[in-house]
Amino acid sequence: MTTLLDVVFADERGFAALAFGHDGYYDENGKYDHRTWSEARYRWPAQRDELLRQLAQLAGAGERVDVYWCPALRTIDERRKHSAVDRLHFLWADLDGATTDEPLLNKLDPIAVASGTDGHRHLYVPLDRPVTPAQHRRLNRALAARIGGDHKWSNEALLRLPGTLNHKSDPPTPVEQLPGGGRVWNVDEIAALLDVDLTAPEQQPHTAAHTAQEAAPAELPYLVRARLDAPVTDRSTAHHALVGACRSSGLSLGQAIGVVAGYEPSVEKYGDRLPFEVERCWEKVDPPRPVATPLRVVGDDEHAPSAPVAAPARRLRIVRASAVVPKAARWLWQTGEYGRIPLGEVSVLAGRGNVGKSPFALWCAARLTRGELPGELFGNPVDVLIYASEDSHEHTTVPRLTAAGADLDRVHLLNGTETDEDPEMPLVWARDIDLIREAIEQTGARLLVIDPLIDVHRGGANTDRTDDVRAGLRPLVALAHRTGTAITGIAHFNKQRTGDVATLLSGSHGLRDTVRAVLAFVERPDGERVLGQDKNNLGRAGDDVPRLTYDMASVDVPIDGAPVSQPVFTITGTTDDTLSDVLLGGAADRADLPDDTAWLFELVAAGHPLPLHAKKCADEAESRGLKWDTVSRKARRSGLLVSRQERGAVANWVWTLTDDGARRAGKTPTPTEVDGA
């Protein structure tokens, strides 16, 4: 189905900006407002189907939501005046009532949308070639002035989206595209019709000594954002406060003009006089306090004048909590009501060697390319990115993907990087993270597989140090948040025998601390394999989530004219055993604590949920005439106790109860430190 979004955006790339006004009402002044307001951006065209599906779900839920869209794609994941793409194909106007130039409107023959309020229309004029944002501003402003449109001519303006409902009335009225219209205009002809000279420099009226407008910063300071979001009771006061916030935050006068040019109260009040009014107000507000600069000794002359050292323009990034719109978790993979792998986050697939972690990752990738993975993307085939440094693409990755039924055209394999001088360079995540982000945005990939995850730390990081692990993963977390892509990394268990996954994860606890979900893959002594949800910050985890049993089916793939068997991950059912039971070989096979270890369990249980320092435990063992190494080894094998390293300046080892140990002691299971307690 072709929508107005398809017509206006066509094949351009960028972010489609939408806004949602929930629970509309009329205030005491008769103005229509919303109790809750949220905005979202979708990569276009990569997330087109997802956008339409979410709109359909919203409509089907029967909520009172007014939906708006910005007819100009954005270059970044924000809706600001100076973030529009460089190629704009449509003019538009918001006409509330009768036009002031009926012959002109008839001649334009635009696409018309009935906004749901009687007599109100949104008009769209197609152009035969794209125009720049500067040209678009002149044409759109002239169009609004000629036909009597309102102020929504700016390229970040919001209009109602056809196919949704206008809830100003009860019952709500549909926002519908009207039949007919859509004449495509030659840019030069419509410029002449609207009396706009696209070659002339823009005039700045009322500003004999006016400072040139500059682009607003991509990241506005907190004070400026707060003023933009503040309620307006008096436009003059609001205008003065915004200019003051710009100056106090260290913006230049030109940048302040750029910010205020997108502020509706100021635009409505001052119109073409806006730059002059900003400059006039600028002179009245207090300048920012000067920043002290350190002294620098020049040569050997200690009496030489000191040269100022430029201080970095660093400011705190603060956001008002009321401006944060809560969002529900979005799942790449879920089974029934249980979310397993979240979108926009980093997850870990952990287990010993040869238990099926990599085949599982490829199974997820294959089903995503077919739109068959249960989760938010079900029914919507998407692309995936795979980094597999330990497997051959020719012998392993592609044959396994083929066996799993992947659409190979949607799978992109990361082979490293290249330059003109060196065509084969290894991928260095810390260095190449921006290249990976570009690959995600260009392909629209919704899953990035990293096998193994430890490669992220290539370059000398100590994976046993929490700070090093966190620092290595932080860019990856930011990448997931920015792109909305699920990132799954494959990690290995160490050789300890314990029922605690946190203890089994190789390296520092920083890995489990930083990621949002951990899936554990375990093989029983009898060969049965179990997948459990060890951690899930966005949903349920542990014993609250069914443990899945799985196997590796054998599928023949023709290679060089002969069938070659490939493993394919296959879910076979569920098990009632806890993850700890499975790790330790089954609850029925676990022996009670021996006498030389039971005292430790009682000692730790007595202080639960507080941890007990290992030195105190060792001293107690010595006082009982026991060897601490023997006691601690038996305690770990029991699955009831676990040792871990505490955070802090001093690396202290402590003992705590596992979830099973807490239940056995009649205590409430408490997340260990690695869960954030």
User: Which of 498, 496, 492 shows the shortest CA–CA distance to 511?
Assistant: 492
Which residues have C-beta within 8 Å of that of residue 574, sequence separation ≥ 6? 546, 547, 548, 549
Q: Are 174 and 116 in contact (CB under 8 A)?
A: yes
For residue 142, the SS3 value is helix
Whether omega for the bond prior to residue 45 falls within 30 degrees of 0, making it cis, is yes
Looking at residue 588, what is its pLDDT? 40
Burial profile 633-644: b = 16 or more Cβ within 10 angstroms, e = fewer: ebbbbbbbbbbb
Residue type, 367: R
Read off φ and ψ for residue 436, nearest 5 degrees: -70, -40
Q: Find the helix or strand (DSSP H, E) in which 633 lies.
A: helix 628-638
For residue 100, the tally of other CB atoms under 10 A from its CB is 13
Looking at residue 592, what is its pLDDT? 57
- What tokens were used for 235? 């436009």
Integer Cα distance of 264 and 261 in angstroms: 8
Looking at residue 541, what is its pLDDT? 86
Q: Find the helix or strand (DSSP H, E) in which 466 lies.
A: helix 466-483
Looking at residue 459, what is its pLDDT? 55
Looking at residue 177, what is its pLDDT? 93
Looking at residue 202, what is its pLDDT? 57
Q: Which residues of the chain have pLDDT under 70?
A: 1, 29, 81, 201-210, 286-315, 458-464, 466, 497, 506-508, 585-593, 595, 645-652, 669-677
pTM of the model: 0.49
Give 358: exposed, middle or buried? Use CB within 10 Å, 0-12, 13-18, 19+. Answer: buried
Q: Which residues pair with 642 in a beta bridge?
A: 656
Looking at residue 72, what is its pLDDT? 94
- What tokens were used for 459? 């370059």
For residue 485, the SS3 value is coil
Supply the DSSP symbol for 588.
Answer: G
